[in-house]
Structure 1
Amino acid sequence: MTKFFIISCLALCLAVSGCVSHKDMVYLQPSETVTDSIAKVVATQSPYRIQIYDILNIRVKALDQDAVQIFNPMGEDLLDANSDERAYFDGFTVDLHGEIRVPALGRINVLGYTTEEIEKIIEKKLLDEQFKETANIFVTVKLTGLRYTVSGEVEAPGTNTLFQDRVNIFEAIANAGEIPITGDRKDILIIRQYPEGQKIHHLDITREDVMQSPYYYIQPNDIIYVKPLPQKSWGTAETGMQTLTTIATIITLGTTTLLLIDRL
């Protein structure tokens, strides 16, 4: 009986240690430090600044649209926001020097600027060099989609492109097929590009205050890595039902073994 009790305790400890708890799977759990300050949340949402290899979509409009057609190589009627290939070939790629080359305007440095700031720079150059105020020039500059990569413990790893100005970590993961039970939601890695190189940031999406993190919104060329939980490598139970099954199997095996030993 003592041996049976020891085996049962060991089986219970093994199964419980391998079970993924409810708190490890629930998103946005309240914390004592979280506040509802909208100002604080907005303060972390700093605008994205252009980096090398970004691709910009530039559109110029005027009263005489034919006069600005050279700046719109694709033409408004041919614009297809769902075509990554067209954006790649017809967009303006930021080179290693942080510049783009615009017809009739030459090279323009855009490295470190926001899209709104680039709009003003191009508009000023057009008015200084090509047009008068009466032309009513209107310039729009956007990134040709927000491209990012998700790898690790997700249902559909790979590279995605979303045509939105802002994408948060939950939207990015949802587009990768969500995180299975064996994924670590408490330590998601964001590998982000900077002019000086790459940096790794950590996010715990089980906490409500993740929305106040400066890394809550992803940026172009981010790599999101979801680590597996130890339970996956252990090969132990992940849910309550699996835990009960594991306990029953180990106890049955242990009892059978003891009975065979006693008969010898």
Structure 2
Amino acid sequence: MQRILLLLAIALTLLSSSCISTKKLSYLQEDKASMDSIVEVHRLNKPYRLQVGDLLSIRVKALDQDIVEMFNPTGEGIANATGEEQMYYDGFAVDQHGNIRVPTLGEINVMGYTVEEIREKIEDQLLSEYFKQEANIFVTVKLAGIRYTTIGEIGAGSNVLYKERVTIMEAIANAGGISDVGDREDVKILRQYPHGEEVHHIDLTNLDAVKSEYYYIQPNDLIIVDPLPQKSLGAGTTGIESFRTIGTVISLISTSILLFTRF
């Protein structure tokens, strides 16, 4: 009888510690004390500044488009290339020295500049060296998508989203979401800076995550989702799964005890 009670106590302990609560699985949880949550978001609206490895899309337009064609990519990088592949060949990559090479204009330093500052820089150079104001030069400069990588308890791989700004929730959803055994309370972001790399943390189960300066991802971010302890235990993510697993273990233990007591 004592052995049975001991086994039941062990089973209840394992069951309570092994299954994953909905609190750990739910995103952006609000305060239950209020009916609706009004989130005052104080984001750092600092524009992104270019780094080594970034890819830019640059186009020059004018009233007479023929006179500016020499400044635009030819689109002959590879036959039948589309989307990201085409951008790889037609885009302007920032090299190790922080420069891009633009047709006719040559090398232009863009390291640490915003896309708006680069647009003004190219426009000023075109007007001072090649055209007059009457040509109505129109330059567009954009990041060729926001590229990021995900590893861990999330759809692993490299991803590109063609938007001006991307939240970490959009990035995770695009990667396939976090698994049931992924730690949503401590999602890590490895981010590149001119001085090196830094790791930042964000709790995606808390509604206050939208106030974080890391809620919006940046190009070349690495999003890391570590597993919860329940994964190493292998006891299941729900109560039923855990109960079945623990029941099997207890059954084996009970059988072993009975066999040994008979001898």
CA separation of 1:226/1:66 partners in 2, compared to 1, >3 Å: closer, same or farther?
A: same
Find the aligned partners of 2:257 and 2:129 in 1 and give their Cα distance: 93
**1:189 corresponds to which residue?**
188
Find the aligned partners of 1:46 and 1:57 in 2 and give their Cα distance: 21
Find the aligned partners of 1:24 and 1:74 in 2 and give their Cα distance: 51
**1:46 corresponds to which residue?**
46
Query: Would you say the 8 A contact 1:193–1:199 is kept in 2?
Result: yes
1:88 paired with 2:91, answer no
Displaced runs of 4 or more, over 6 A = none
1:36 paired with 2:39, answer yes
Find the aligned partners of 2:10 and 2:28 in 1 and give their Cα distance: 34
**2:166 corresponds to which residue?**
167
Q: TM-score, normalised by structure 2?
A: 0.89
1:127 aligned counterpart, secondary structure: helix
Shift of 1:234: 1.4
Segments of structure 1 that go 5 or more residues without pairing to the other structure are none
Matches within 5 A, 1:59-208: 59-74=59-74, 82-154=82-154, 156-208=155-207
1:100 aligned counterpart, secondary structure: strand
Aligned residues: 256
**1:248 corresponds to which residue?**
247
Query: Would you say the 8 A contact 1:81–1:163 is kept in 2?
Result: no
Shift of 1:243: 2.3
Shift of 1:217: 1.0
Q: Report the residue type matching 1:159 in the other structure.
A: S
1:186 aligned counterpart, secondary structure: helix
Query: Would you say the 8 A contact 1:168–1:217 is kept in 2?
Result: yes
CA separation of 1:94/1:29 partners in 2, compared to 1, >3 Å: closer, same or farther?
A: same
2:126 aligned counterpart, secondary structure: helix
Find the aligned partners of 2:54 and 2:249 in 1 and give their Cα distance: 56
Find the aligned partners of 1:243 and 1:101 in 2 and give their Cα distance: 59
Query: Would you say the 8 A contact 1:11–1:250 is kept in 2?
Result: no
Q: Report the residue type matching 1:110 in the other structure.
A: V
Find the aligned partners of 1:53 and 1:189 in 2 and give their Cα distance: 22
Find the aligned partners of 1:176 and 1:262 in 2 and give their Cα distance: 54
Query: Would you say the 8 A contact 2:19–2:230 is kept in 1?
Result: yes
1:81-135, CA deviations, whole angstroms, 9 ceiling, x for partnerless residues?
9522221222111122211122232222211111111111111111111111111
Q: TM-score, normalised by structure 1?
A: 0.89
Q: Which has the higher contact order (CA 8 A, sep 6+)?
A: 1
1:185-229, CA deviations, whole angstroms, 9 ceiling, x for partnerless residues?
111111111111111111111111111111111111111111011
Shift of 1:165: 1.2
Find the aligned partners of 1:164 and 1:141 in 2 and give their Cα distance: 13
Find the aligned partners of 2:45 and 2:19 in 1 and give their Cα distance: 37
1:224 paired with 2:223, answer yes
Query: Would you say the 8 A contact 2:72–2:103 is kept in 1?
Result: no
Shift of 1:61: 0.6
Shift of 1:259: 4.5
Find the aligned partners of 1:88 and 1:247 in 2 and give their Cα distance: 52
RMSD: 2.2
Find the aligned partners of 1:94 and 1:123 in 2 and give their Cα distance: 19
Segments of structure 2 that go 5 or more residues without pairing to the other structure are none
Q: Report the residue type matching 1:218 in the other structure.
A: I
Shift of 1:46: 2.4
Query: Would you say the 8 A contact 2:235–2:246 is kept in 1?
Result: no
1:58 paired with 2:58, answer yes
